[in-house]
Every structure is written in structure tokens, then in C-alpha cells.
Structure 1
Amino acid sequence: MNGTAVGVDIAKMVFQVHYVDQDSGEIVNKQIKRSKFLEFFANRAPCLIGMEACGGAHHWARRLTKMGHQVKLMPGEFVKAFNIRSKNDPADARAIWLAVQQPSKPVAVKTEMQQAVLALHRMREQLVKFRTMQINALRGLLTEYGEVMGKGRTALDKAMPEVLARVAERLPAVLIDTMREQWNGLVALDEQIAGIERRMREWKKDDPAVKAISEIPGVGLLTATAAVAMMGNPKAFRSGREFAAWAGLVPRQTGSGGKVHLHGISKMGDTYLRKLLIHGARSVLTHAKEPGPWINQIIKRRPPNVVTVALANKMARTIWALLAHNRRYQKDYLGAKPV
């Protein structure tokens, strides 16, 4: 298999492998059990292995790379274009085998530490959603009994003691006790979220890349840690513009015959990172005393939401520039164009 391209469709227990044997010309499309997967590649010459960037792909990519193989992770959308048959494991492996031989931008293989930080982000996001659900559920249930409270956690905590005291006069004690338990459970969620953020701050102290981009206005703890972990290797992107496009912070384009029409942002890439960048940009526009001449000029010409996305795009480009060139943030830095 020296120099052979191999397509691998990974799964939980059974993997599908597709390649063409260079010596015999035989088309090989076979299943391999999970326990035998690494053994299959262990005693073979280095080859190009293609996989979809899905669950578990980064783990297998790291293991195969240590064996001397070249691993190329590809987005599922790119691989889908090469699936010319019904969707099944053999067809998917063949599509991956075709796709890996085409020129394309691979997905950077993440380290275990980067994946660990992303796992913290996912768990924190889940807890935040659950906390919001609990607050809305309590407000909705109490509305059924004529008790209307303002939106937000602060309004809930302020009104809850008096509301429970009033409805306790006419409602069963079992319901009141359950509502009080649900309300008190929000404190436990707060502690879990704070614990995750504390661990993120500890990682920030030890990672120079996270510390460097944290100095950018609008880039806080969550945005900095998520950007470093999701980007992987900054060199995987040719420019800051490409990274911003990957994050979905550029207009979607349509048109033909030489006419190009620009629409809203493409919303490609990771939804979570894009949300953090846009929230950070909105925070700068709202709270910054001196946003800067660039922002002041664009505010005069564009609506507020367009300005917010434009600033988020600029923040994404700045993040890439600092990480790719190993620099510190400079507020008034101007890039010199080559002569």
C-alpha cells in the first residue's frame, strides 16, 4: 500500500475500508472490526488515509499519524459530492477514497487538549441551556396561577419568595415544595458552570496562544479558548480572510453571467464560535468608550447588525494573524503591504 490512497468510513464497531491494490489492481472494499483497525495499518507502508471529520475522527487520525501515515480529514459536505450510489458503508468508503485524492483544504487534526477544551465548552453550553429551561418553566407554571414575573434570573430570584408564599395558600404543598426545589437547583447549576469556567481560566494561564488573543477587544475567556481549540493549527488557513469565511462571517454569494449578488452571512463553520464572536463584537460596540476610527466610519454607512458582523469578521482575522504569526496584539497596528 505504499503511496496508496485509502478511504475509511469510521463507525462505532465496524469500519469500512476502500482502496485499490497497486500490485494486483484489485479493488478492495472490506469491513474491519474496531479492535483490528489499527492492526490493519500497523504493518503496512505509509499511505494517504482519508476520513470524514466526524465523531472519533481526530482520535484515529492522531493514532494513524503516529504510525507514519498521512491522514486527511475532510468535511462531510465535500465527501457527499462523490457519493454516486445509495448511502451505505461501502459507498461511503468509496466516496471518501475518491474525495481524498482531490485537491481540497483538510480539517486540521486537533490535539487531545484542544478536544478537551471543546468538551468543556459543550458541557457548559448544555448546563446554560438547561438553566434557561428551568427558569422559563418556573415562570410559565406560575403564570398558570396568575403570578407573572419579569424575564431573567434576577427578576426570578427577587420575586420567587413572595410568589411562592402567595400561591402556597391555595395550592398543594407537594407542588410548592417541588417548585422550591427546582428554584434552589439553579444554584447547583450556577456552581457547575462556574467550575467549568474556572478550569478554563486555569488553561488560559498555561496557554500562550489563549493569553495572546485575549487581549483583543471583545475576545473574552470563552471566545479565546474556543477559537484556539476549534482552529487547531492556524497554518491550516492561508489567511485571516479564509478563517473568517470558515467561521461563516462573510456574505453568501449567488449569481451567474458575471453578476454576483451578496446576501446575508453564509453561516458556515461552527455555530458556537460564530455566536461568541458576534456577541463579543456587540459588547465592544455597546460598551467601548473609544471604538476606533474604523468602527466610527462604518457606523455612519451601515446598519447596526451589519456593523456587528463586520467587527466580528475583523476580530476573527485578528485572531488568525496573532496565532499564525505568533505576535502580540497591538491596538494601532497597520499591516504593511509588500511592494
Structure 2
Amino acid sequence: MKLTPVGVDIAKSVIQVHWIDSETGEITNKAIRRNKFLEYFANRTPCLIGMEACGGSQHWGRCLIAMGHEVKLMPAKFVKAFNIGNKNDAADARAIWLAVQQPGKAVAIKSEAQQAVLALHRMRQQLLKFRTMQINGLRGLMAEYGEVMGRRREVLDKAIADVLARLADRLPAMLIDTLREQWMRLTSIDEQIALIEHRLREWMKQDRSSKAIAEIPGVGLLTATAAVATMGDAKSFRSGREFAAWLGLVPAQTGSGGKVRLKGISKRGDTYLRTLLVHGARSVVLHVREPGAWAAQLLKRRPKNVVIVAMANKLARMIWAVLAHDQQYRNGDGNASAI
């Protein structure tokens, strides 16, 4: 049975809906209040509902699937190509309605548990940014008074006590006390990051998929939990190559007149997971005594960074193979520093 396509533009308070009745040709493009949105679809025959993958789309997708509808989440970049006029809610809903009828890889609809894991990753990343900002802020403030320190956290911790002692003779006590308090806050941030990693580790012990891919050299706690949560259902990808391409770990293409040229990696898909895979691949290529015959041969004829990205592509394909075929990793080539 062919499902009626419906375009839905999500917002905080008002949600725009666009669809065309296949029998009468009547065009519906109306705004619905947030608290009436699910009620609007409750008694309808199953539809193919398209939405941009944005804040709240995972929640609405799960609710609509529970009602029997089919939901397709699409990247905003894909939808934008179909909005050819002015940008407003009605035009966006119409663009989504056009986009949902086109072939394309949908964004996976995740379970609440998978979203919870990704939420922990996002909060950990935020804390890392706060810590870096705090360190750079302290270094910058003390440089204003002639005290210059190295960039690393270890250098700051080693030198700051003596620096504050020297500055205490020249500067007001209120500033010295505040600088010391800001330095001590770094320890609190470290503890919060460690606590999040502990919770991720406890979740991974209970999750069979995460434990399986964590056996792959170069895949550790962060990469394993993020990969399982981001991918959703591994079988939604036809192959490991498609999964690697979805993450942007393949060359972008440009061409005209029958000539196609390969550029750098496309960098499509999830930036965070791609970054973790690249760091994991770097640990395999640069820090493992014997990275394997494949990597060794590639290093002889290609630059290191190219080999690292190729290894990240290989890691992505191995992750897909383990999850899609429900198998254990069976290669004993060395031990990598896992990310």
C-alpha cells in the first residue's frame, strides 16, 4: 500500500503540516499547536511522514511510529534544496513534503536509551570545552601581568601556585583569591568528566553491541558507545561502505563533461563520531608497534594523514560488519590505544 506523504516542519510551539489528498487533490498546509499535533495524526490512516532531523524530531518520530506511521528523518541540507522561495513555516513544510518523496538515506530514529547515551557524550564534550576555556582564561589573565605559562594542563598545575605567590605581592587579594578559585574549579570539572565516563562504562557492560565492537583495535569506550547510539539499527545500512560514506569518510566528488575528480573526504554525517574514529585510527597507525600488513604497505606510498583516514574508514566498516552480522571481532593484530 502506498503511503500518503506528509511534510512536517517542527517548531517549539507551532508545527506546520503539508500534504495533498491523493483522491481530491486538495492541498493542506496548516499550523497545529504542539499539544494538538499527535491528536491530528491519531486517527489517520498510516502516512509517510517526513521531518528534518533537528531538536525534538527523534521524540516525535518515536511517537508517530507507535501510532503506525512511517517516519523519515532527513538532514536539513537535503531538505533545503527543495525550498525555492522565501523561507517560512509553510514553505519549509512544502519543501519537506517534496524531499520525503525522493530517494535518500534517512537519519536513524533512535531509542530513548540510545539518545540518553548520546546526551552523556554531548555533556562530556561541553565540559571539555569549559575546561579548555577555563585554562586558556587563566593563562591569558596572568599573561596580562607578565606571567606566561605553557599551554598544557600539566604545565599550568605545576606553575600556577608559584605564579600566584609572586603576584600576591603586587595585586589585590580579591583577584588572587578569584584566580585560585577558578584554578580549583578545574578539579571539579575533571571529576564530572570522570563520572560521565564511569556511567558510560557501566552502560557498555550491559550493552552487548558496544562490548562487541570495543574488541576492535582503535575502538574504545567513547567510540563504541557513540557508534552504537548514533547508528541505530546497523541493518538499515546496506554495507559497511555505505556506513563509512554516511559518516563522511570517503572522498567527495566533483566533475563535468564525463570527468570525475576525487577531492578530500566529504565530511558528511555525524562530526563527533567521525572525529572519534579518526583519533582511534591515529592510535592504530602511529602508536601500535605492528599496525598490520595493510597499514604498513599503505604507509610506504601514502602520507600518514591519508593512511589515518583510510584506517578510520576501515574501522567504520568493521564496526558495521560486527553489528550487522551479530559476530565477534576475530582479528588478533596487535593492541591499539583505544579512544
Same fold by TM-score, threshold 0.5 exceeded?
Answer: yes
> Is 1:298 the counterpart of 2:316 in the alignment?
no
| 1:126 counterpart residue number | 126
| 2:321 counterpart residue number | 321
Q: What are the equivalent positions in structure 2 for 1:324-339 lying under 5 Å apart?
A: 324-331=324-331
| 1:48 counterpart residue number | 48
In 1, Cα distance between equivalents of 2:287 and 2:103 = 45
Deviation at 1:24, TM superposition (A): 2.7
Deviation at 1:253, TM superposition (A): 1.4
| 2:236 counterpart residue number | 236
Deviation at 1:11, TM superposition (A): 0.8
Deviation at 1:332, TM superposition (A): 6.1
Taking a change above 3 Å as real, the CA distance of residues 248 and 3 of structure 1, as seen in their structure-2 partners, is: closer
- Unmatched 5+ residue regions in structure 2? 334-339
| 2:76 counterpart residue number | 76
| 2:337 counterpart residue number | none
Deviation at 1:304, TM superposition (A): 0.9
Taking a change above 3 Å as real, the CA distance of residues 3 and 268 of structure 1, as seen in their structure-2 partners, is: closer
| 1:157 counterpart residue number | 157
TM-score of the aligned structures, taking structure 2 as reference length: 0.95
| 2:167 counterpart residue number | 167
| 1:110 counterpart residue number | 110
Tell whether the 8 Å contact from 1:107 to 1:236 is kept in structure 2 after alignment: no
In 1, Cα distance between equivalents of 2:182 and 2:316 = 39
Task: Name the SS of the counterpart of 1:32 in structure 2.
Answer: strand
Q: CA RMSD in A?
A: 1.5
In 1, Cα distance between equivalents of 2:81 and 2:219 = 36
Task: Name the SS of the counterpart of 2:31 in structure 1.
Answer: strand
TM-score of the aligned structures, taking structure 1 as reference length: 0.95
Q: How many residues align?
A: 333
| 2:135 counterpart residue number | 135
| 1:29 counterpart residue number | 29
| 1:337 counterpart residue number | none
Higher mean alpha-carbon deviation, 250-259 vs 204-213, is at: 250-259
Structure 1 residues 105-125: Cα deviation after superposition (integer angstroms, max 9, x where no partner): 221111111111111111000
In 2, Cα distance between equivalents of 1:6 and 1:249 = 32
Structure 1 residues 193-234: Cα deviation after superposition (integer angstroms, max 9, x where no partner): 011101100110010110011011111111111111111111
| 1:183 counterpart residue number | 183
In 2, Cα distance between equivalents of 1:25 and 1:245 = 38
Task: Name the SS of the counterpart of 2:314 in structure 1.
Answer: helix
In 2, Cα distance between equivalents of 1:305 and 1:117 = 30
In 2, Cα distance between equivalents of 1:208 and 1:328 = 10
Deviation at 1:21, TM superposition (A): 2.0
In 1, Cα distance between equivalents of 2:151 and 2:106 = 44
Structure 1 residues 130-161: Cα deviation after superposition (integer angstroms, max 9, x where no partner): 10111111111112222122221111111111
Task: Name the SS of the counterpart of 1:260 in structure 2.
Answer: strand
Amino acid at match of 1:170: R
In 2, Cα distance between equivalents of 1:104 and 1:303 = 33
| 2:208 counterpart residue number | 208
In 2, Cα distance between equivalents of 1:178 and 1:189 = 17
Deviation at 1:84, TM superposition (A): 2.1
Higher mean alpha-carbon deviation, 96-105 vs 162-171, is at: 96-105
Deviation at 1:246, TM superposition (A): 1.3
In 1, Cα distance between equivalents of 2:329 and 2:143 = 50
In 2, Cα distance between equivalents of 1:60 and 1:246 = 23
Q: What are the equivalent positions in structure 2 for 1:251-262 lying under 5 Å apart?
A: 251-262=251-262
Structure 1 residues 156-175: Cα deviation after superposition (integer angstroms, max 9, x where no partner): 11111111111111111111
Amino acid at match of 1:167: L
In 2, Cα distance between equivalents of 1:178 and 1:295 = 50
Tell whether the 8 Å contact from 1:250 to 1:313 is kept in structure 2 after alignment: yes
Higher mean alpha-carbon deviation, 15-24 vs 123-132, is at: 15-24
Task: Name the SS of the counterpart of 1:83 in structure 2.
Answer: coil
Task: Name the SS of the counterpart of 2:256 in structure 1.
Answer: coil
Higher mean alpha-carbon deviation, 256-265 vs 106-115, is at: 256-265
